[in-house]
Amino acid sequence: MCSRKLEAVLATDIEDLRERFLNIEFDEVEFEIDGTRFREYAIAAGETDPKFTDISNPDFQAPPTFVSTLVGRRTFPSDFPALNGVSMDAGKQVEWKAPVRDGMKLVGRSHLHDIYTKTGRSGRMVFLVTRMELYDKEGTHVANADTRTVIRER
């Protein structure tokens, strides 16, 4: 098969995955936020601002990146097809919207936010972005935590 036809076939399979799986919630998890835990996280991350490290600070809150440590039960939908290749973590990204404080109860809802490809020296790589949207008990959207997975196809 010529390379242009192969590229068209590969693009079609990704488009099919996008149509079938993007923006469909597949996991919901509840979290109770522990100030001691996010204080330890802040110190380990080198944070020095007392609002992240001093429990007695009146504005004590989790550092914005703390929510990237909250994980759901599944990374992908249960019916997501296995892709042929080597899977690796491709990084995290956090969108902070409101403070996360000690004792808060959060609900995390996960969906596939993006599926895209890049071509590297070793061939095509498929990137899957799983987004967990976090809400407090009043329904306020406090953060998004994205996890990227890259699959280097064989």
Please report whether residue 96 resides in a domain. yes
126 close to 148: Cβ distance less than 8 angstroms: no
Which residue segment(s) compose the domain that 28 sits in?
3-33+69-153
- pTM here is 0.87
Q: Which residues pair with 106 in a beta bridge?
A: 31, 136
The owner of tokens 């429990």 is 55
Percent of the chain scored above 90 by pLDDT? 80
Task: Say if residues 134 and 107 touch (Cβ distance below 8 Å).
Answer: yes
pLDDT, residue 12, reads 57
pLDDT tens per residue, the chain (154 residues)? 434 433 444 455 899 999 999 999 999 999 999 999 999 999 999 999 999 999 999 999 999 999 999 988 888 999 999 888 889 999 999 999 999 999 999 999 999 999 999 998 888 999 999 999 999 999 999 999 999 999 998 7
In a domain, 15, yes or no: yes
What's the CA gap between 5 and 22, in Å, rounded?
25
- DSSP letter, residue 46: T
Asked if residue 62 is part of any domain, the answer here is no
**Percent of the chain residues past pLDDT 70, beyond the cut:** 92
| Long-range own/partner contacts, residues 7-10 (CB < 8 A, 24 or more apart) | 10/117, 10/124
Residue 131, C-beta contacts closer than 8 angstroms, at least 6 positions apart: 110, 111, 112, 113, 144, 145, 146
CATH code for the domain in which residue 127 is found: 3.10.129
- What are the tokens at 60? 């004590």
Task: Provide the number of structural domains found in the chain.
Answer: 1
Q: Is 10 exposed, middle or buried (0-12, 13-18, 19+ CB in 10 A)?
A: middle
